[in-house]
Structure 1
Amino acid sequence: MTDQWWAGVRQRVEAAGAGPGGGKVFGALGHKWVLEEPLTRGELAELEAQIGVQLPEEYRAFLLHVGTGGAGPAYGLFPVRRVQGRWRWEGDGADLADLTRLAEPFPDQGADPKLLDDLLAQRPEEEDFDEDFDDAIEAWDERWDAVMFAPERTAGAIVICHLGCALREWLIISGSHRGTIWSDGRADDVDLVPLLDDDGKPVTFARWYSDWLEKAEQTALSAP
């Protein structure tokens, strides 16, 4: 079923990129409508052996039948590549994911709300300081980032897309949320949250990519 889902997708991406409005699609100047070549089954097996876990079905089928990355939502789907004999995902913020922890379950809940509220209450206000304000806000930022960006909070997940301004999206690899896409607005002090469809259901990788492609086609294939 997942293999059939991706039938013709690579050709649709190529057609959209060649369309009269292809350059008007957000992020197209970044990914340039290029899809990297798919993985072989041997390469996929090698990748999964390295990370110690099988990738979600929809995503692994994409890697086998469409490409390892490239044209996709926002500035493109982060490609997975073998570099000096080791597999890794590449893109702006891809290194936020700990590839040694992908077999660990992604946490079921976000940061402790009380802890966040307490930290926010402690945020320095400029009127309470003079020349020491810069030092105070820098120290507070470090405490905030230590909570929001604690590595255990994104165990079992990879960064797959950059939206700009340090906003990103993650694909959950392990745990009860496996196969779903999460939004990362922590650069704007917004916690990690799952993407939901109009019915309030979690968006899986296939839905995430196909929704982007359908909207991109509407723009790319329209008359100038």
Structure 2
Amino acid sequence: MTDIWAGVRERVLALRSTPEVMDQVFGAVWLDGGHRFELAPPLTEAELARAEERLNVTFPADYRSFLLEVGASGAGPDYGVFPLSAQLTGERGAAPDGMPRLARPFRPGPVQELLDDHEENEPRREAYADDETFWRSWHAWDARWDELDAELTWGSLTVSHQGCGYYSLLVVTGEERGLMWEDVRAIGEGLVRMRRRGADRLTFAEWYLGWLDWAEPRIKAAQRAAAGRPGDVSGAA
């Protein structure tokens, strides 16, 4: 086992408790769901190797060792860590040239510029002689918009849902490989590098362990309070 993940699975599973205690951490309990500090079993080396071969990538070392030593999915920041199987569906299948989307270069800046330029050239009805010609042009424009919007996340894994349509991404190709980004297209801000507690760059391990270091004292304080022992839940973070 790598030093970075030593004891982490046990630390996470130790935080399982009653819903009212786990509710102190966002995403742990949500209606009948939430990650509830559960973790799926880790992947085997063979399972991980098959996934990497299918996706035509080698995952960053800390994410790779997380899948092998901590869990294939489950408890983590926000609503938890998505299973790797989610990346093997048609949702993130091949790019138009047949190469898996995950293996394509991560380049949100240039793609966003293309998308912005494309939006400025949306067809206008007054520029066309008839409705049929206009709608043909508009549907072609709309299809291209969808292609560019999807291309924004090429080269990245969607590893977690933050809620309200925001997602956490792990970059697996290019200069940003190994770093966490955020998909905040839901509020019109595209993709931005993740920043937490003043850090300008976060690896997957820093993202996950930072969350655990924050969540652990909150749950333990809530457990003490529920047992009638002194403990200030509000100050535990």
The verdict on a shared fold, with TM-score over 0.5 as the criterion, is: yes
Letter in 1 for 2:106: F
Q: Trace 1:93-112 onto structure 2 (pairs within 5 A).
A: 97-98=92-93, 100-107=100-107, 109=109, 111-112=111-112
Give the match for residue 134 of structure 1: none
Matched, 1:16 2:18: no
Per-residue CA deviations over 1:69-118 (Å, capped at 9, x if unaligned) read 1001111100123xxxxxx448xxx9754462212221162544596389
Distance 2:71 2:167 in 1: 20
Distance 2:176 2:12 in 1: 28
Give the match for residue 42 of structure 1: 46
Distance 2:102 2:114 in 1: 28
Structure number having the greater strand percentage: 1
After TM superposition, the structure 1 stretch with the greater mean CA deviation from structure 2, 47-56 or 58-67, is: 47-56
After TM superposition, the structure 1 stretch with the greater mean CA deviation from structure 2, 146-155 or 70-79, is: 146-155
Indicate if the aligned counterparts of 1:76 and 1:161 stay in contact, CA closer than 8 A.
yes
Given the superposition, is the C-alpha separation of residues 161 and 110 from structure 1 closer, same or farther in structure 2, using an over 3 Å criterion? farther
Given the superposition, is the C-alpha separation of residues 115 and 75 from structure 1 closer, same or farther in structure 2, using an over 3 Å criterion? closer
Give the match for residue 3 of structure 2: 4
Indicate if the aligned counterparts of 1:167 and 1:184 stay in contact, CA closer than 8 A.
yes
- How far off its partner does 1:44 sit? 1.1
Indicate if the aligned counterparts of 2:44 and 2:68 stay in contact, CA closer than 8 A.
yes
- How far off its partner does 1:176 sit? 0.9
Moved over 6 A (4+): none
Indicate if the aligned counterparts of 1:22 and 1:221 stay in contact, CA closer than 8 A.
no
Q: Trace 1:138-177 onto structure 2 (pairs within 5 A).
A: 146=145, 150-177=149-176
Given the superposition, is the C-alpha separation of residues 115 and 106 from structure 1 closer, same or farther in structure 2, using an over 3 Å criterion? closer
- How far off its partner does 1:175 sit? 1.0
Secondary structure of the 2:168 match is: strand
Distance 2:189 2:55 in 1: 29
Distance 1:56 1:114 in 2: 28
Given the superposition, is the C-alpha separation of residues 162 and 145 from structure 1 closer, same or farther in structure 2, using an over 3 Å criterion? farther
Given the superposition, is the C-alpha separation of residues 61 and 157 from structure 1 closer, same or farther in structure 2, using an over 3 Å criterion? same
Secondary structure of the 1:16 match is: coil
Give the match for residue 205 of structure 2: 206
Per-residue CA deviations over 1:7-60 (Å, capped at 9, x if unaligned) read 000011011223883232110111121100001111111111111111110100
Higher-Rg structure is 2
After superposition, the CA RMSD in angstroms is 3.2
Letter in 1 for 2:7: G
Give the match for residue 128 of structure 2: none
Distance 2:54 2:81 in 1: 21
Matched, 1:51 2:55: yes
Secondary structure of the 1:168 match is: strand
- Paired residue for 1:74, among 78, 103, 111? 78
Runs of at least 5 residues in structure 2 that lack an aligned partner in the other structure: 95-99, 123-137, 226-237
- Paired residue for 2:69, among 65, 71, 78? 65
Letter in 1 for 2:14: A
Q: Trace 1:82-101 onto structure 2 (pairs within 5 A).
A: 88-89=86-87, 97-98=92-93, 100-101=100-101
Runs of at least 5 residues in structure 1 that lack an aligned partner in the other structure: 82-87, 123-138
